[in-house]
Chain A
Amino acid sequence: MATAAVTAERENYLNKEYGIRSWLLTTDHKRIALLYLASITFFFFIGGFFALLIRLELLTPAGDLVQADTYNKLFSMHGQVMIFFFLIPSIPAVLGNFLVPLMIGAKDLAFPRINLLSWYLYITAGLVYLHCIVMGGVDTGWTFYTPFSTAFSNTKVIEAGIAIFIAGFSSILTGLNFVVTIHRMRAPGMTWSRLPLFIWAHYATSIIQLLGTPVLAITLLLVVFERAFHLGIFDPTRGGDPLLFQHLFWFYSHPAVYIMILPSMGVVTEIIPCFARKRVFGYSAVALSSIAIAVFGFLVWAHHMFVAGISLYSAMIFSILSYMVAIPSAIKVFNWTATLYKGSISFSTPMLYAFGFIGLFTMGGLTGLFLAALGIDVHVTDTYFVVAHFHYIMVGGAVMGYLGGMHFWWPKISGRMYPEGWGRLAALIVFLGFNLTFFPQFVLGYLGMPRRYWQYPPEFQVLNVLSTAGSTILAVGYVLPMVYFLWSMRYGKIAPDNPWNAAGLEWKTTSPPPTFNFEEEPVVTWEAYNYDQLPEPQEVSLER
């Protein structure tokens, strides 16, 4: 039965100090991770609320729930909030912040105060964006295409641009912290080839954050200047070129999608070995594929511009490169599947999310092949096909990976177990709700329903109704973990140091860990995923 145990608690990072100052001025990476957890969850629900309104409007062909201008703001802000204030920070800033030092045997990140600064930059950006929402919002689409954003929109483009600019710096500093930490702070014996693949994934993600985000920053800055001072850099009536904006924008925004997916691939690569009780199949392949995705991800940006007016020949180059970048992702899927072979598999909540991830990411990735095919892209770009594709990867992939990771490491983070029965139920609800929401959108896209449409021809209605129905189910699936995670903090079973008998240094310290992570600095003499040396765990309990 659940016990609110009143045992003499060991000192850990949660109870070491109390009071709001000890949280707002902390430099402990674990506390900062929780600060981020609270903030990104808040923005997830804001973005989710916008999504719900969008889906409600789309129940009927006519625009009858909100006005056109309002709808345009809803989808623009749904995208910006979800991407910049939820997805991009999510796993790195919560799970990465919490686990990177633990996994490599360090006491903290290389720059703890910069870590706190990252969070404050994120909060500042969030406040500016909230102010933008309250003052009327922005309606340019999350992509800010010019000249609409610079010379035609009547909404708070400058404020939104500034908010995202600031959020970008938060992202850059997190990436910088991770790279330096992974290079310089590994415990004795923790060589590169012994690192958990979660670390490799975050390393690759951080490289992208460092190199790509500054380009978005300067692009948004130029958009803000152009709008404020009526310049002409992107405005053809003043000698500028709208395609230049698109190139600069996508140069970041394509690698950004790898920032959003690589960390959750890292999460899945930790979960699967644990619940199959065997080391990852093809460690080097998985590690190098993360790096390959990061590198190739910078070479494919103009596949968002196949019908934008670029030349035939550059389109062909970007198409072929886009197929190259799909290969490392495919390699990961095959390696995960092979890891299951001759394993000893159990179906805990994290494992269910990992399975869901593989399935949905595979489908999303395969539909990427459609989009990379030039002849098809002409028909389906800017339609619901693309919307479905990226939601399969971002929601079916990244968010499921995030939730799986939250469940997997929740005992370590909070010292409590979440209720396993509810966890599995929520995973199932998310999976079903997700598919019902987004699969019909592939059909809608090929039928020709364009995206960002407030109203649509009646023959598209049935599929839209199915999609909206799915979204309500999905919403339930997302609310459940919020509720039971909070519940578990008070009533959940006390977690042992290593409830899953998982490999990894983070499991060799207490749940929750002490402030400086380890009683003694670990010395690593074993390979990663040493499941041959670890005992089988107890059966995962279904007790509430």
Chain B
Amino acid sequence: MSDSPIAVEQHEHRPELRHHFATVEQQRDSATLGMWLFLGTEIMFFGGMFCAYLIYRIWYYNEFAAGSRSLDIYLGTTNTIVLICSSLTVALSVRAAQLGKRGLVIILLILTLIFGLAFLGIKGVEWYDKYKEHHIPGSSFDAGDLVREYPQLHIDQSHEQIYFSLYFAMTGLHALHMIIGVGIFVYLLYHTWKGLYTPAYNTPIEIGGLYWHFVDIIWIYLFPLLYLIDRKPLR
């Protein structure tokens, strides 16, 4: 693979080849490794919050259950489907790029962007609902509605605020990564349209795709952890 030494004289002249690399393969392998390492750091980044979530869910299960139930499961499920579809279009776009089908790549990237923006839109609706219900942590936080709705859970409002703090921190950070992803894909769309990517060189689409898949996977974890804590019918 690309860990092996590269022959000295094989310096190709390709417009996309940056001068400090010897070959396009070296450049591509470096970019891919770089993206995988970056995604590793992202796992650690989200990991801190998953750790806090784990501990507080064990300690304050009732409040987490009530908070989870207060989320709109239909919107959450829709968003999950939206993101999975977007990962499909991303994967297909990488394949299309490898096959040199520029038109198809453009269509798929546009679809991805539509899915991504749909996700963000639905997320915005959900957050607005939380705002109306006074579930946004801070000085105006009030989970009295949950206290009344689930008297058998004996909800402590400060514990409930922790659930929602983690909810907003986790979905907020995820949404921020989605926004960055949308930006990346606008960039990719533009460069595809300009004809920059070929079967021989489509690394940006490949590593952009990796990033998008990662953001999707984070959501696949967030969805059950936040929305599906305790959905069975209450006694």
Do A and B form a real pair?
A: yes
Closest A residue, CB atoms, query B2: A184
Q: Does B200 contact A (CB under 8 A)?
A: no
Q: Does A63 contact B (CB under 8 A)?
A: no
Q: Does A73 contact B (CB under 8 A)?
A: no
Q: Does B129 contact A (CB under 8 A)?
A: no
Q: A180-B34, A184-B26, A219-B48 are in contact. Are A190 and B5 (CB under 8 A)?
A: yes
The answer on a CB contact under 8 Å between B51 and A184 is no
Residues 78-92 of B contacting A (Cβ, < 8 Å): none
The answer on a CB contact under 8 Å between B138 and A230 is yes
Q: Does A65 contact B (CB under 8 A)?
A: no
The answer on a CB contact under 8 Å between A231 and B30 is no
CB distance from B183 to the nearest CB of A (A): 16
CA of A212 to CA of B48, assembled, Å: 10
Residues 157-192 of A contacting B (Cβ, < 8 Å): 172, 176-177, 179-181, 183-190
The answer on a CB contact under 8 Å between B158 and A232 is yes
Q: Does B159 contact A (CB under 8 A)?
A: yes
Bits for A100-117, please: 1 = Cβ < 8 Å to B, else 0.
000000111111100000
The answer on a CB contact under 8 Å between B30 and A184 is yes
CA of A143 to CA of B20, assembled, Å: 41
The answer on a CB contact under 8 Å between B48 and A225 is no
Residues 5-56 of B contacting A (Cβ, < 8 Å): 5-8, 18-22, 26, 29-30, 33-34, 37-38, 40-42, 44-49, 51-52, 55-56
Q: Does B156 contact A (CB under 8 A)?
A: yes
- B165 contact set on A, CB distance < 8 A: 225-226, 229, 231-233
Q: Does A240 contact B (CB under 8 A)?
A: yes
- B42 contact set on A, CB distance < 8 A: 214
- A212 contact set on B, CB distance < 8 A: 44
Q: A185-B30, A523-B8 are in contact. Are A244 and B3 (CB under 8 A)?
A: no
Q: A215-B47, A244-B52 are in contact. Are A239 and B41 (CB under 8 A)?
A: no
The answer on a CB contact under 8 Å between A239 and B30 is no
- A244 contact set on B, CB distance < 8 A: 52, 55
The answer on a CB contact under 8 Å between B34 and A176 is yes
Q: Which of A210, A239, A240 contacts B37 (CB 8 A)?
A: A210
- B49 contact set on A, CB distance < 8 A: 218, 222
Residues 472-515 of A contacting B (Cβ, < 8 Å): none
CB distance from A151 to the nearest CB of B (A): 13
Q: Does B139 contact A (CB under 8 A)?
A: yes
Q: Does B166 contact A (CB under 8 A)?
A: yes
Q: Does B226 contact A (CB under 8 A)?
A: no
- B47 contact set on A, CB distance < 8 A: 214-215, 218
Q: Which of A188, A190, A213, A221 contacts B41 (CB 8 A)?
A: A213
Q: Does B214 contact A (CB under 8 A)?
A: no
Q: Does B169 contact A (CB under 8 A)?
A: yes
Q: Does A16 contact B (CB under 8 A)?
A: no
Q: A184-B2, A523-B8 are in contact. Are A239 and B22 (CB under 8 A)?
A: no
Closest A residue, CB atoms, query B26: A184
The answer on a CB contact under 8 Å between A222 and B169 is yes
Bits for B182-224, please: 1 = Cβ < 8 Å to A, else 0.
0000000000000000000000000000000000000000000
Residues 133-168 of B contacting A (Cβ, < 8 Å): 137-139, 156, 158-159, 161-162, 165-166
The answer on a CB contact under 8 Å between B52 and A188 is no
CB distance from A354 to the nearest CB of B (A): 32
Q: Does A521 contact B (CB under 8 A)?
A: yes
Q: Does A238 contact B (CB under 8 A)?
A: yes
Q: Does A295 contact B (CB under 8 A)?
A: no
Q: Does B61 contact A (CB under 8 A)?
A: no
CA of A186 to CA of B51, assembled, Å: 38
The answer on a CB contact under 8 Å between A110 and B30 is yes
- B166 contact set on A, CB distance < 8 A: 233
The answer on a CB contact under 8 Å between A238 and B20 is no
The answer on a CB contact under 8 Å between A111 and B34 is yes
- A190 contact set on B, CB distance < 8 A: 5
Q: A233-B52, A248-B48 are in contact. Are A176 and B37 (CB under 8 A)?
A: yes
CA of A240 to CA of B33, assembled, Å: 39
- B45 contact set on A, CB distance < 8 A: 214-215, 217-218
12 pairs of residues in contact across A and B, judged by CB atoms under 8 Å: A107-B20, A108-B20, A110-B30, A181-B30, A183-B3, A189-B5, A212-B44, A218-B46, A222-B49, A231-B137, A233-B56, A237-B158
Q: Give 14 A-B pairs besides A214-B41, A232-B162, A233-B166 with Cβ atoms closer than 8 angstroms.
A: A176-B41, A181-B30, A184-B2, A188-B5, A188-B7, A215-B48, A218-B47, A218-B48, A231-B165, A232-B158, A232-B165, A238-B162, A239-B156, A248-B51
Residues of B whose CB lies within 8 Å of any CB of A are 2-3, 5-8, 18-22, 26, 29-30, 33-34, 37-38, 40-42, 44-49, 51-52, 55-56, 60, 137-139, 156, 158-159, 161-162, 165-166, 169
8 closest residue pairs by CB, A with B: A188-B5, A218-B48, A214-B45, A239-B158, A108-B20, A214-B44, A107-B20, A229-B138
